[in-house]
């Protein structure tokens, strides 16, 4: 009997450690993707738009199959600012499924980055599930230093989205893609049941050590703005 109890505890602990490792790897991959995109000369997210956004979501290596159509699924994380222009808070885990990625061939992975703009964008983000282009207005984000004009498409969108596939980075209009809260991922990351609102709006939990690379990258390219700077 004791042996069965010990075996049960062992497998439970092993499963927990494996789950934690997966979430750590997800955050590390998100940090790597974001850093590589921002380091690319003249092919990155404009820093002035990054400074305006309320949250940044990164979905590394979103898998897809088929030609143009086919299943797509990815897991990532979203991080929001503390206050309008404050420092970056703790990550909340999300999934992204479906959506149109244009003419992309085969099963190559696609990295997706989304900027969540303003309070309306954050309120949409807090839904358990929402559709880009439906529940949330979305537009392909501007790229590079020379494409930062305040067009109506950019200014009215709740979400500005980007993709990187096979080294090519561009704004991406993610019509029909569904963003959903990954409650299981958050439970693993924080060790308890916790809502996205508690994490990204109320900021009730400190960021886990695994989130440090992603937060370091966000703070490097879009640090908190002081009152003097504003």
The pLDDT score that the predictor gives to residue 171 is: 86
The pLDDT score that the predictor gives to residue 80 is: 96
Out of 49-58, 88-97, 102-111, 171-180, pick the least confident: 102-111
Work out the pLDDT band at 166, boundaries 50, 70, 90. Answer: confident
The pLDDT score that the predictor gives to residue 13 is: 43
Residue with the larger pLDDT of the pair 70 and 83: 83
Burial state string for 8-43 with b = 16 or more CB within 10 A and e = fewer than 16: eeeeeeeeeeeeeeebbebbbbbbbbbbebbeeeee
Integer Cα distance of 59 and 54 in angstroms:
17
Give the residue from 25, 180, 181, 45 showing the smallest Cα distance to 113: 45
CB atoms within 10 A of CB 66: 12
Mean pLDDT on 151-178: 82
Work out the pLDDT band at 73, boundaries 50, 70, 90. Answer: confident
- 183, burial (CB in 10 Å: exposed 0-12, middle 13-18, buried 19+): middle
The pLDDT score that the predictor gives to residue 7 is: 44
Work out the pLDDT band at 93, boundaries 50, 70, 90. Answer: very high
Mean pLDDT on 157-171: 87
Residue with the larger pLDDT of the pair 109 and 34: 34
119 alpha carbon, distance to own chain's centre = 17
Joined together, the tokens standing for residue 104 give 């992309």
Mean pLDDT on 79-107: 79
**pLDDT at 65 > cutoff 60:** no
Residue with the larger pLDDT of the pair 65 and 214: 214
Work out the pLDDT band at 56, boundaries 50, 70, 90. Answer: very high
The beta-strand segments (E) located in the chain are 55-64, 72-81, 88-97, 110-116, 129-131, 138-140, 159-165, 168-171, 178-181
**pLDDT at 152 > cutoff 90:** no
Out of 26-40, 45-59, 127-141, pick the least confident: 127-141
- Beta pairing, strands 138-140 & 159-165: parallel
Residue with the larger pLDDT of the pair 144 and 187: 187
């Amino acid at each position: 009997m004791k042996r069965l109890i010990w075996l049960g505890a062992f497998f439970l602990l092993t499963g927990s450690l494996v789950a934690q490792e997966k979430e750590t790897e997800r955050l590390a991959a998100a940090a790597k993707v974001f850093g590589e995109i921002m380091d690319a000369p003249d092919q990155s997210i404009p820093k002035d738009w990054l400074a305006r956004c309320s949250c940044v979501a990164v979905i590394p290596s979103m898998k897809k199959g088929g030609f143009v159509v086919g299943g797509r699924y990815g897991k990532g994380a979203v991080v929001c600012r503390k206050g309008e222009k404050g420092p970056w808070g703790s990550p909340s885990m999300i999934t992204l499924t479906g959506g149109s990625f244009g003419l992309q061939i085969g099963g190559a992975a696609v990295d997706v980055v989304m900027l969540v703009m303003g309070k309306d964008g954050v309120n949409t983000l807090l839904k358990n599930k929402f559709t880009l282009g439906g529940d949330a207005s979305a537009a392909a984000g501007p790229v590079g230093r020379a494409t930062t004009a305040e067009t109506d498409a950019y200014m009215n969108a709740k979400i500005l989205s980007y993709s990187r596939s096979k080294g090519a980075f561009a704004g991406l209009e993610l019509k029909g893609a569904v963003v959903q809260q990954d409650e299981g991922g958050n439970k693993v990351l924080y060790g308890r049941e916790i809502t996205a609102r508690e994490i990204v709006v109320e900021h009730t939990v400190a960021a886990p050590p695994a989130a440090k690379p992603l937060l370091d990258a966000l703070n490097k390219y879009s640090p908190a703005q002081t009152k003097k700077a504003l």
